[in-house]
Amino acid sequence: MYFYAARQPILDKEKNLFAYELLFRDSIINVFPDIDADEATTKMIEASNFNLGISEFTGNKPAFINFTLETLIQGYPETLSPEEVVVEILETVKPGKKLLAICKDLNEKGYTIALDDYIHQTVWQHFYPFIHIIKIDWQDTSLEMIKAVKVAIAEYPHIKLLAEKVETYEEYNQALELGFELFQGFFFAKPEMVKTKSLSPSQMAMAELLYETSKKDLDLASITSVFERDVTLSYKLLRYANSAIFKRRSEISTIKQALVILGSAELKRFLGLMFASNVNPEKPSELINSAMARAKFCELMSSEVNPPLDNSIAFLTGLLSLIDAIVDEDLQSILAKLPLAQEIKDTLLTRKGALASLIMLVEFIERAEWSKTTTLMESLSLEKDIAVKHYNEAISWSDEQSNAAN
């Protein structure tokens, strides 16, 4: 059994990762709300406890998980520790004495409680001492209502406002000005502004290396020469090659030794990740993490489509699928500056072909758009379990890489 879930990042005011919300489905075929909410939560808890730990799926960040009144009564939140879960009370749960007693008990036990898709009613004031986060649907809540909520919680400074479904940087800035402290949505995965800028010498060196490693036959002398011209890049290569994820018995001390030991596939991954993470260091780390997960997913899925795709090309294309958001520049302008294979450029610009379909597939999974996911997998003749398995593996791998880089 695999986790049929998407994880969506929740960021703080500085756009640092605060937590993930897990959007669970019994399977990709069962599109919510066709599956009972109690059953969905139950299966989430079962999966997290007996199949794949919550921490493995969220990189040790807290997980927002939806709970119905029935699952709260059954005590399901307490099967997880207060450190790994945020108890998110579904908007369908009505405020009442039983719910109030549960919230008070969970609060005393150290659990963080959030109200999902909050609709303001005066009765909720009884809950404010025990509630820590109020989630407000940015697309469906008026400015007047937001201001009314702020007035209502003014005496409870421990309560944070979370704006969900924030889709643009303009909306993020508006919510920030209104006093929201947490943000959920895909604003961070879109370009903040369109502008033209030149790449630094180090970034150009990485672009040159990406081109060199896209060739079938690697020219080790040329690649070594590029590294030797950039001290910072050389340092990062040696540090990466010596990192714990490779579990090497002896340390690597030269550029050529690092290149030989890493091998072609690992070198391509390293260069792609270095380019993505260093081209704009001001961008949220979660954006880079998402790009890394997409890259690994495309690489893993490249052998599942018919005919199979080149896994190295698939990895780099998946990685660059968010490059416009990372660089804050028009995609066509960015690709014109990079010496990439035409196959990669065409895939990203035209959004046509099998490789583009894999990128669309991971986008649908990220957004928990399960009906679109199912339709696309059927058109590609892909097995559900294999796609979900590779998505989980890609998430774990990207978290591991991020930890190693930090």
Residue 12 included in any domain: yes
Angle at 134 between CA 25 and CA 59, to 5 degrees: 50
Is-contact 131 114, C-beta < 8 A?
yes
**3-state SS, residue 85:** strand
Residue 351 has pLDDT above 70, yes or no: yes
| Single residue among 161, 189, 217 that ends a domain in this structure | 189
Confidence class for position 397, pLDDT limits 50, 70, 90: confident
Residues 139 and 44 in one domain: yes
Q: Considering its fold, how many domains does the chain have in total? A: 2
Arithmetic mean of pLDDT, 151-160: 96
Provide the 8-state DSSP code for 199: P
**3-state SS, residue 392:** helix
Residues 177 and 253 in one domain: no
DSSP lists the bridge partners of residue 115 as 89, 134
Residue 344 included in any domain: yes
Confidence class for position 254, pLDDT limits 50, 70, 90: confident
Highest-scoring range by mean pLDDT, 75-84, 218-227, 228-237: 75-84
Residue 142 has pLDDT above 80, yes or no: yes
Residues 259 and 340 in one domain: yes
CATH number of the domain at 369, please.
Answer: 1.10.3210.10
Expressed as residue numbers, the domain containing 73 is 5-189
One-letter amino acid for residue 13 of the chain: K
Per-residue model confidence as pLDDT tens digits over 265-301? 788 777 777 776 666 777 788 888 898 899 899 999 9
Is-contact 188 284, C-beta < 8 A?
yes
Residues 209 and 185 in one domain: no
Arithmetic mean of pLDDT, 291-320: 90
Residues 227 and 371 in one domain: yes
Arithmetic mean of pLDDT, 399-406: 69
Residue 18 has pLDDT above 60, yes or no: yes
Lowest mean pLDDT among 231-245, 255-269, 289-303, 387-401: 231-245
Residue 196 included in any domain: no
As a whole number, the mean pLDDT across the chain is 83
Give 253 or 44, the one with higher predicted confidence.
Answer: 253
Residues 249 and 381 in one domain: yes
Residue 31 included in any domain: yes
